[in-house]
Chain A
Amino acid sequence: NAGVTQTPKFQVLKTGQSMTLQCAQDMNHNSMYWYRQDPGMGLRLIYYSASEGTTDKGEVPNGYNVSRLNKREFSLRLESAAPSQTSVYFCASSEAAGLAGTNEQFFGPGTRLTVL
Chain B
Amino acid sequence: GNSVTQMEGPVTLSEEAFLTINCTYTATGYPSLFWYVQYPGEGLQLLLKATKADDKGSNKGFEATYRKETTSFHLEKGSVQVSDSAVYFCALSEGTSYDKVIFGPGTSLSVIP
Q: Is the CB of A102 within 8 A of B93?
A: yes
- In whole angstroms, what is the CA distance A96 to B101 when docked? 12
CB-defined A-B contacts under 8 Å, sample of 6: A43-B89, A44-B103, A94-B99, A102-B49, A103-B99, A105-B44
Q: Is the CB of B95 within 8 A of A107?
A: no
List 19 additional A-B contacts (Cβ < 8 Å) besides A41-B105, A42-B105, A102-B93. Answer: A31-B99, A40-B105, A42-B89, A44-B103, A50-B97, A51-B98, A90-B43, A90-B44, A96-B98, A101-B94, A103-B93, A104-B34, A105-B44, A105-B46, A105-B99, A107-B43, A109-B43, A110-B42, A110-B43
Q: How far is the CB of A47 from chain B (nearest CB, A)?
A: 12
Q: Is the CB of B43 within 8 A of A101?
A: no
Set of chain A residues within 8 Å of B41, measured between Cβ atoms: 109
- In whole angstroms, what is the CA distance A42 to B44 when docked? 11
Set of chain B residues within 8 Å of A44, measured between Cβ atoms: 103
How many A residues, CB 8 Å from partner?
A: 27
Among the listed B34, B49, B96, B105, which residue makes an inter-chain contact with A100, where contact means beta carbons less than 8 Å apart?
Answer: B96
Question: Which of chain A's residues 39-80 have a Cβ closer than 8 Å to chain B?
Answer: 40-45, 48, 50-51
Chain B positions 20 through 40: 1 when the CB is less than 8 Å from some CB of chain A, otherwise 0: 000000000001101000000
Q: Is the CB of A104 within 8 A of B49?
A: yes
A: residues with CB less than 8 A from B are 4, 31, 40-45, 48, 50-51, 90, 92, 94, 96, 99-110
The size class of the interface chain B forms with chain A is 20 to 34
Q: How far is the CB of B18 from chain A (nearest CB, A)?
A: 25
Q: How far is the CB of B39 from chain A (nearest CB, A)?
A: 11
Q: A40-B105, A42-B89, A43-B89 are in contact. Are A101 and B44 (CB under 8 A)?
A: no
- In whole angstroms, what is the CA distance A44 to B96 when docked? 17
